[in-house]
Chains A and B, each alone.
Chain A
């Protein structure tokens, strides 16, 4: 393969607040292969989400070069689907119409029956059958996250950016969603950047885990996760290799988490 799908070269980001410049991200280098699942863990405010915003083309890097599929990211990167940390569902649309919204746009135009079919598939996929007519205001936080996930998956973007997608879900449902995500990603040959606070989640899902250090964020360690695929997300936690990886990465992470709480 000639080039990596996503390449960050000396990417840094700082914001200006009045007179002071706040460094959010020190220069980082990272290359993500096509069809790779990369998880970012680290304390809050370490620039993980900033990287997703830059890959999506929503935020230009302060320094460095960011390229996607060999070309620099200058404008919005519409080959990615982005599930932001914040809820961006349309409150006036019910679940089904929220999920189907991307297919109403000219660039993903789908006829009404095709749209209905896909919505039904997605609703089933994220386990929201029976809630199609509910408005976001009537759903729990976890359910809203699943609607957002379905809305991202319905138009089949090649790269998925997910910012703490399952943070609000209870432990059991989280595992069910992990299983689904793993299946979708491998069937759809997706590339994934996945931000999470949950180290177990990162190890269970990812091909590589990137640990960030606290502000200004930088990459502390990148670890290949050599657990064989397909993984049984319900049991993988009990495998000795998982425990080893978890201990190793937790050692890296815990100092940063402590530092984060000191300030």
Chain B
């Protein structure tokens, strides 16, 4: 959306970046000073946290990140396509959607965390229960956004495409699907951070590896520096995910920004 190609906009952007940097330095500096001068018992301080992250980096942090990432990706790989297809198909079948509505809303109303113990019983301690959690959360997000997207498609657009001779399949592939692309992408945009939450929540309950496990371990040892270190890594992961999605969205929806 931000078509910043004029000189004024570019220098405005430069100023924003400068102010962001200053704000960040001030916040971290203030925190560091508070930790050194007053107490670091409950808040640790940035230098210690970054030192810990560096230590971890040489000692298996990559492995934990990889585990969490693997759970996310596997769950997303199931949840996104399933949710999208269900949304597209049920979106075109109002009667079936009406019948299934209470079931779908009932299942969706169950809070995520409460499902975790069940999945641990069913699927054990490995990656599977977390993958299932991620898949369920992202399935619903994609289902609801895609379903809503189908409802917004113009009636005349559908009619004119049918008159051209499109079969049901062609209609889905060439009209409904692409028309919902913006909705699907916004669903994915929401689903990605949620997939991180789902994976980490699963790991916090019971796991042998992953970022959630790292966080729980630190918390059980009342290791503030460790907890903040884990949180910082999670934040970095979240930001990286968000930027990836923005990038994909900008490329896929070029026609929208014209």
Interface residues, chain A, with chain B CB atoms under 8 Å away: 56, 58, 76-78, 80-82, 84, 86, 88, 90-92, 101-102, 104-108, 135, 137-138, 155
Contact = CB atoms under 8 A, between A and B. Distances in A.
Contacts of B175: 90
Q: Which 7 residue pairs are nearest across A and B when measured between Cβ atoms?
A: A107-B165, A88-B160, A137-B258, A135-B255, A102-B164, A92-B255, A88-B157
Nearest to B181: A92
Given A88-B157, A92-B178, A101-B174, A138 B258 contact: yes
A218 B98 CA distance: 40
Contacts of B160: 82, 84, 88
Contacts of A92: 178-179, 181, 253, 255
A76 B167 CA distance: 12
Given A88-B156, A90-B178, A102 B258 contact: no
B37 interface: no
B217 to A, nearest CB: 48
A137 B255 contact: yes
A137 B257 CA distance: 9
Contacts of B82: none
Interface of B: 154, 156-157, 159-167, 170, 174-175, 178-179, 181, 253-256, 258
Contact of B174 (A58, A76, A77, A104): A104
A105 B170 contact: yes
Contacts of B181: 92
A152 to B, nearest CB: 9
In terms of DSSP, what is the predominant structure of the interface of chain B?
Answer: helix
A92 B178 CA distance: 8
Given A92-B255, A137-B258, A102 B165 contact: yes
Given A92-B179, A137-B258, A155-B164, 4 more contacts: A90-B178, A104-B170, A106-B165, A107-B165
A137 B146 CA distance: 23
A143 to B, nearest CB: 14
Nearest to B253: A92
A80 B178 CA distance: 25
Nearest to A59: B159
A105 B165 contact: yes
A91 B164 contact: no
A135 B258 contact: yes
